[in-house]
Structure 1
Amino acid sequence: MMDTVIVGGGIVGLFTAYYLQKKGIKVTIIDKGNFTESCSTGNAGMIVPSHIVPLASPGMISKGIGWMFSSKSPFYIHPRLDKELIKWCYYFYKASNVSQVSKAVPVLKDFSLQSKALYLDFQTEHAQLDFSLQPKGLLMLYQSKAAEVEETAFASLAQKSGLNAEILSKEEAQKLEPNQELNIRGALYFPDDAHLDPAKLYGLLKTVLIDSGVRLIPETVVTGFEKWGRKVNKIISDKGSFTCNNLIICTGAWSGALAKNLGFTLPMIGGKGYSFLQPNLSNLKQATILTEAKVTQSPYADFVRFGGTMEISKPNTEINLNRVQGIFSSIQKYYPGLSVVFPEKKAIWSGIRPCSPDGMPYIGPAPGYDNVWVGAGHSMMGVSLAPATGKMLTDLLVGKKVDPVLHHMLFDVDRYNK
């Protein structure tokens, strides 16, 4: 029996393999990297059912235009004459409206809650594995009146959608972070969110897959496909060819290029983010978003990870120190007593988030094929949504009926081909 081949060894690809092998399906994962570091390993590690509004939303365009004039801002599009970028920006503009967001909110909420439940199941099933899953919720700290108005409105939307959301005073937020002074006006708290160590999770999940017989093929670049009718039967690479029973594309920001090779359109662009570690000397407790700065803070026992920025550029992992400086300079604005040291360049992590124009992932069958599937385009939600994505792709592949509320048309892989 030929293997189901997953191209892409990030967290979405690994969780898809995890659920496939539980169904007794033979799986091979091919990746251009070495299965040690990816966009899945150095991010904030947040599991966020609270993130019910996609990146493409009302107000993002005007904010983005303002941010583009600062090299240290949270969001930046590197201007260039690029047909794919222009097309992506046009689709982003079309999707940034109230109607589109109102459709997305319940879908993202239900999908995220399922993903969190699957994380808890995974933790229970593999209780011997420690990937620092901490169900302590998420604090969104704000300093300005304008941010307070926005966060209060967001809390109301979340509550109407069935999520737990609380507006906290400075004093109430301080009780959740007792070891470090907070310089804030207030906070929004989502008690049902969580965070984990993404590098630990990635390494442990990889070990589980290897132990279960999943084959990992590193440092192999897919260059083409051999097709027969409505099926792909062979994957061509720089290391030879691989026959397959089914093909699943989970290559993140590079998925659009593979889709083009297969003959369909999958608008995708890379959004670079940065992060760095600091010793957790003040014993920070709470996973946090510094709202105005769009910076994340994820604490663990011995260290804390700070991250942020969305730099729309050609996929590469080059370090722009101005972007990192923007993250660094915001930290003491919110934590005035926190001792932080600007990291050495070699200690800075960067990863490329796969961004669809409407902020919704592509999950499901590829147009024109009977044995090709896609799981990509999760933007900043890759770790958060990976289990639910892998479970859904597995259910679709084996023909199991999937809840239509979860497998919504907003995830349709074919939506930009119509």
Structure 2
Amino acid sequence: MKKEVVIIGGGIIGLCCAYYLQQDGHQVTIVDKSDISRGASFVNAGYITPSHFIPLAAPGMITKGLKWMLNSSSPFYVKPRLDADFLKWSWLFKKSATAKHVEQSIPVIKDINLLGRELYAELKKSNDFDFHFERKGLLMCYQTEKAGEEEWNIGERAIQEGLNVQHLTKEEVKKFEPNVDFNIKGAVFYDSDAHMTPNDFMKQMIAFLKTKGVLFYTNEAITNLAVSNDKIVSVQTSKRTLKADEFVLSAGTWSSVLAKKLQINIPLQAGKGYSINVTEDTGISMPAILVEAKVAVTPMRGFTRFAGTMEIGGINHDMNPKRVKAVANTAEGFYNGLQIPKSAIDAATCGLRPCSPDGLPYIGKTENYKNLTIATGHAMMGWSLGPATGKLVSELISERKTSMRLDGFEVGRFSF
């Protein structure tokens, strides 16, 4: 049955929800507080990552976080603050960071990433798009034996999960990257992964959706949500009232703020990441993560992107020059001869990734309101999981069997 659907949030998740809902015959409207030209969906590393099946909430992360808390340029930085939401999130993170949680999460995260990769490949094959998409795999490059051992332990587990993984020497890495002089000991190679140019895809998807009749209301913040009994009746923006049969909340980090208006608890913290684009020829042709500093390197259409850090410090787009410089210094330390221009560092951008306490997204209907579907909390995997989430949301709203089970993604799992 055709329904009218309002999607709150026009990032990668919101756009993919709109795409599959429109494909299923629904009338879709997207409303966003920005002009949908910036943010995490545009400045991320562009990875599709079945390899990243370990949730952020894992044993050892608390210890690392405490150590890194003293270093504002560390890979994972938590800014301490007396804020009730942050303190609750931190407690839930600590509670989730167990070996049992990791084991339960691995197949779930892997499967939704594989679904995302499959759907991106389908979109690429269609005549509707011409975005950049390459499946070259991913190099996890390390400089120390300890980091290499830890990474290979994950690689061995990935092999148990059915992924194709190789442990490479520095000389073997050279076969993958003949035009790069690496300062590394070796790398773990994941054949499963792919990469894209995010802003390329975002612009094409927005243009396509408009041709299909999807309405966009941008630069309009949600000011109120009207409810009646167990349903949302309408949302009020700064300019208009929008009524619909179904509503999707996919507003990234802001989702938890809006959910509070409905007395729905979805703990989220903004994980800020920084991005540097280098238009000069770097010789880099393979996506790589520089393991010790968690810096991602992606050859994109027309430039190379260096992205990294996870900064839990509230909802803001304040730039921290130390953290930007740390990303540049790490890249130059792994690639001999690489020089990132000051102009590129000065032009660095940031985006906020919505992080749940257990490292799993929220995807599903709410108990409170029959016509509200939540889709947020994807953290660093938002880009990778965009199409998979969009398809699952459309299947829920269209009342069809979902492409995979939603165990682990329950919206109300932290109700209190």
Q: One fold, TM greater than 0.5?
A: yes
Count of residues paired in the alignment: 415
The reply to whether residue 410 of structure 1 matches residue 408 of structure 2 is: yes
Letter in structure 2 aligned against 1:17: A
Provide Cα deviations, 1:297-334, integer angstroms capped at 9, x if missing partner: 00135310001011101111111101101111111211
Whether the 8 Å CA contact 2:236–2:242 is kept in 1: the answer is yes
Whether the 8 Å CA contact 2:324–2:345 is kept in 1: the answer is no
Local SS of the residue matching 2:174 = helix
Q: C-alpha displacement at 1:345, in angstroms? A: 6.2
365-374 vs 277-286, greater mean Cα deviation = 277-286
Indicate the residue corresponding to 1:336 in structure 2.
336
Q: Map 1:90-101; keep pairs closer than 5 Å.
A: 90-101=91-102
Indicate the residue corresponding to 1:233 in structure 2.
233
Indicate the residue corresponding to 2:19 in structure 1.
18
Which blocks of at least 5 consecutive residues in structure 2 are unaligned?
none
C-alpha distance in 1 between matches for 2:36 and 2:300: 23
The reply to whether residue 200 of structure 1 matches residue 193 of structure 2 is: no
C-alpha distance in 2 between matches for 1:225 and 1:132: 38
Local SS of the residue matching 2:318 = coil
C-alpha distance in 2 between matches for 1:103 and 1:343: 45
Q: C-alpha displacement at 1:285, in angstroms? A: 0.7
Local SS of the residue matching 2:36 = coil
Indicate the residue corresponding to 1:372 in structure 2.
372
Letter in structure 1 aligned against 2:160: K
Indicate the residue corresponding to 2:134 in structure 1.
134
C-alpha distance in 1 between matches for 2:398 and 2:301: 41
Q: Map 1:278-293; keep pairs closer than 5 Å.
A: 278-293=278-293
Q: C-alpha displacement at 1:138, in angstroms? A: 0.4
The reply to whether residue 83 of structure 1 matches residue 84 of structure 2 is: yes
Indicate the residue corresponding to 2:387 in structure 1.
387
Does the C-alpha gap of structure 1 residues 205 and 185 become closer, same or farther in structure 2, counting only changes over 3 Å?
A: same
Indicate the residue corresponding to 1:258 in structure 2.
258
Provide Cα deviations, 1:107-150, integer angstroms capped at 9, x if missing partner: 11111101100000001113x63321111010010010110110
Q: C-alpha displacement at 1:357, in angstroms? A: 0.4
Letter in structure 2 aligned against 1:327: V
Indicate the residue corresponding to 1:68 in structure 2.
69
C-alpha distance in 2 between matches for 1:2 and 1:47: 31
Q: Map 1:37-48; keep pairs closer than 5 Å.
A: 37-48=38-49
Letter in structure 2 aligned against 1:416: F
C-alpha distance in 2 between matches for 1:342 and 1:176: 29
Whether the 8 Å CA contact 2:31–2:217 is kept in 1: the answer is yes
Whether the 8 Å CA contact 2:325–2:345 is kept in 1: the answer is no
Provide Cα deviations, 1:336-369, integer angstroms capped at 9, x if missing partner: 1112223456511110000000000000002211
Provide Cα deviations, 1:30-79, integer angstroms capped at 9, x if missing partner: 00000222210011000011110111111111111111111211111111
Whether the 8 Å CA contact 1:78–1:311 is kept in 2: the answer is yes
C-alpha distance in 1 between matches for 2:304 and 2:71: 26
C-alpha distance in 1 between matches for 2:195 and 2:280: 16
C-alpha distance in 1 between matches for 2:397 and 2:227: 19
Whether the 8 Å CA contact 1:16–1:393 is kept in 2: the answer is yes
Whether the 8 Å CA contact 1:283–1:301 is kept in 2: the answer is no
Indicate the residue corresponding to 1:307 in structure 2.
307
The reply to whether residue 295 of structure 1 matches residue 289 of structure 2 is: no
Whether the 8 Å CA contact 1:180–1:338 is kept in 2: the answer is no
Provide Cα deviations, 1:138-163, integer angstroms capped at 9, x if missing partner: 00100101101101101111011111
Q: C-alpha displacement at 1:393, in angstroms? A: 0.4
Local SS of the residue matching 2:408 = helix
Letter in structure 2 aligned against 1:397: I
The reply to whether residue 110 of structure 1 matches residue 114 of structure 2 is: no
Letter in structure 2 aligned against 1:123: K
C-alpha distance in 1 between matches for 2:334 and 2:299: 15
C-alpha distance in 1 between matches for 2:337 and 2:345: 24
Whether the 8 Å CA contact 1:9–1:251 is kept in 2: the answer is yes
C-alpha distance in 1 between matches for 2:22 and 2:42: 22
Which runs of structure 1 show a deviation greater than 6 angstroms over 4 or more consecutive aligned residues?
A: none
Structure 2 length-normalised TM: 0.97
Letter in structure 1 aligned against 2:105: A
Which blocks of at least 5 consecutive residues in structure 1 are unaligned?
none
Whether the 8 Å CA contact 1:280–1:300 is kept in 2: the answer is no
Q: Map 1:27-42; keep pairs closer than 5 Å.
A: 27-42=28-43
Structure 1 length-normalised TM: 0.97
Aligned residues: CA RMSD = 1.3
Q: C-alpha displacement at 1:280, in angstroms? A: 4.4
Q: Map 1:170-181; keep pairs closer than 5 Å.
A: 170-181=170-181
Whether the 8 Å CA contact 1:280–1:303 is kept in 2: the answer is yes
Whether the 8 Å CA contact 2:271–2:313 is kept in 1: the answer is yes
96-105 vs 297-306, greater mean Cα deviation = 297-306
Does the C-alpha gap of structure 1 residues 333 and 346 become closer, same or farther in structure 2, counting only changes over 3 Å?
A: closer
